[in-house]
Amino acid sequence: MKILVITIYFCILFNLSFSQSDGNPHKWDRKRRCDNDDYDPPCGLCEGYGGIPWSDKNEDIKLTVCTPIAEPKDVDNSTIADPYLPDIFTNEGFYEILIGMKTNPLCIGSFPGPDSLGDHCYATQEGVFYYDWTNFQLRIDYNV
């Protein structure tokens, strides 16, 4: 019992210490960011869905579209299909924006940080993902 209590305490402490609770320093709105930490009322449907950002300014983002279709409590779980991906496949339409901490003027070697404090670099990346779950392999060919 003592080990269980210590384990639960550690899990709670770990979660609190690594959750993003930075006060939203860039004042991003609830469309761009809603992490369920420090948000009152809590995040709801179509909040924090984001889009394609290019700077830390709240308005510098091309938001995606979100249209709620049902609250989770209103969905019959028996109608939801299990996700399926083949064991080996290629995704040729891979696109992302790496948002990293700005440590130099040219954003060389930028890497994501644990929070959104400070200035950030926004590096577009695209390429191809090669998945092979039979051999536990993943390869990404990037164009940065």
Tell me the backbone φ, ψ of residue 58, rounded to 5 degrees: -55, -35
Give me the pLDDT at residue 118, please.
93
pLDDT one digit per residue (tens) for the chain, 144 residues: 455 444 444 444 444 444 457 888 999 999 999 887 778 888 889 999 999 999 999 999 999 999 999 998 999 988 888 888 899 999 998 889 999 999 999 998 888 888 889 999 999 999 999 999 999 999 999 887
Domain boundaries, the chain: 26-72, 85-144
Question: What pLDDT is recorded for position 92?
Answer: 93
Burial 58-69 (b: 16+ CB within 10 A, else e): eeebeeeeeeee
Contacts of 29 (CB under 8 A, 6+ apart): 58
Beta pairing class for 61-63 and 137-143: unpaired
